[in-house]
Amino acid sequence: MPVSDDVVRYEADGAIARVTMNRPEYGNAQNSAMTYALDDALYRAAADDDVAVVVLAGAGRHFSAGHDIGTPGRDIGTAFDRRAGLWWDHVGKPGAQSRYAREQEVYLGMCRRWRELPKPLIAQVHGACIAGGLMLAWVCDLIVAADDAFFADPVVRMGIPGVEYFAHPWVMGPRQAKEFLFLGERISAARAYELGMINRVVPAGRLADEVTEIATKISAMPRLGLALTKKAVNQAEDAMGLQVGMDSVFGLHHLAHAHNAEVGADSLAGHDARSMRDERRRDEQASK
Ligand code: ZN
């Protein structure tokens, strides 16, 4: 399948490249078409010598509602040219031969690839940043959020221990990660800031300007200095177990998918976007 560019917009403005997820009618739910278009956009930003800093944002009301688990454009049965690793094409394979290969490629593999972008990457987050949306924010170096932003990983409802890019204990600390996952509740931008998960909270109307100001300042730094500094901090995170921890949790994640598929309707315990929303609303009512 060729990569589409209508689901991701790319704009270069001097030293700043802006990459914007563009499925606003679905809260920027990520299908594979979007994943590959994001990869194209980030590759383009990496290759453009004029670009010093990259901003990742979402069009419409939300940054990202997560992975696509129910829009008409859900394309998990579609083959794209793989590029995050050497796992085989998942299409037409049974069970974990398909599911594991696919998630290595489009979720864990792609996120790791983007984390290695040798230029600073800033997440500009407003509205929902849920589940797979967290993965995109977390691979960025800085996260700047509007005061209307909220964050959640509700996939424990599916019996699954968090999203595939399992950075939770590193981005907010182990005890807070457990609370965040066990409850699956939305946390505000202010709370995310308290947890150290994001860099700044700004009024929604100032979000884009604030990010541009930060990006402009950073772009004045020497290119190699920025690339090496980013790598230095990433290596420190890896020395704190990020990479190896994620690999071990990816196995647990797939144990959960396989259990769901073995005992129930599908690997998501029969959930889709609507049922997840309904359960959240029921829990919110019950706790009032
Ligand atoms: Zn999964």
pLDDT digits (tens, 9 = 90+) for 44-81: 999 999 999 999 999 999 999 999 998 999 999 999 99
Residue 36 lies in a domain: yes
Q: What is the CATH number of the domain that holds 217?
A: 3.90.226.10
Residue 209 lies in a domain: yes
How much distance in Å is there from the Cα of 38 to the middle of ligand 1? 19
Question: Coil, strand, or helix at residue 63?
Answer: coil
Cα–Cα dist 25/137, whole Å: 20
How much distance in Å is there from the Cα of 249 to the middle of ligand 1? 11
* Per-chain residues with Cβ under 5 A from ion ligand 1: 103
Cα–Cα dist 243/236, whole Å: 11
How much distance in Å is there from the Cα of 190 to the middle of ligand 1? 28
Give the pLDDT band (50/70/90) at residue 3: low
Mean pLDDT of the chain: 96
Looking at residue 283, its pLDDT comes to 87
pLDDT tens per residue, range 159-209: 999 999 999 999 999 999 999 999 999 999 999 999 999 999 999 999 999
| Count of the separate structural domains present in the chain | 1
Higher pLDDT pick, 256 / 70:
256
How much distance in Å is there from the Cα of 74 to the middle of ligand 1? 15
Residue 102 lies in a domain: yes
pLDDT tens per residue, range 106-148: 999 999 999 999 999 999 999 999 999 999 999 999 999 999 9
Give the pLDDT band (50/70/90) at residue 5: low
How much distance in Å is there from the Cα of 120 to the middle of ligand 1? 27
The DSSP annotation for 74-135 comes to --TT------S--PPP-TT--HHHHHHHHHIIIIIIHHHHHHT-SS-EEEEE-SEEETHHHH
Q: For residue 229, what are its two tokens? A: 């500094």
**Which residues face 264 on adjacent strands?**
none
Mean pLDDT of 261-270: 94
How much distance in Å is there from the Cα of 104 to the middle of ligand 1? 9
Instruction: Please report, rounded to a whole number, the percentage of residues in the chain having pLDDT higher than 70.
Output: 98
Residue 3 lies in a domain: no
Residue 228 lies in a domain: yes
How much distance in Å is there from the Cα of 39 to the middle of ligand 1? 19
Looking at residue 173, its pLDDT comes to 95
Residue 2 lies in a domain: no
Looking at residue 249, its pLDDT comes to 98
Give the pLDDT band (50/70/90) at residue 240: very high
Closest CA to 59 of 4, 112, 11, 106: 11
How much distance in Å is there from the Cα of 115 to the middle of ligand 1? 19
Q: Look up the domain containing 22 and give its range.
A: 8-286
How much distance in Å is there from the Cα of 52 to the middle of ligand 1? 33
Cα–Cα dist 58/127, whole Å: 9
Mean pLDDT of 81-95: 94
pLDDT tens per residue, range 215-237: 999 999 999 999 999 999 999 99
Residue 174 lies in a domain: yes
How much distance in Å is there from the Cα of 100 to the middle of ligand 1? 8
Residue 24 lies in a domain: yes
How much distance in Å is there from the Cα of 51 to the middle of ligand 1? 33
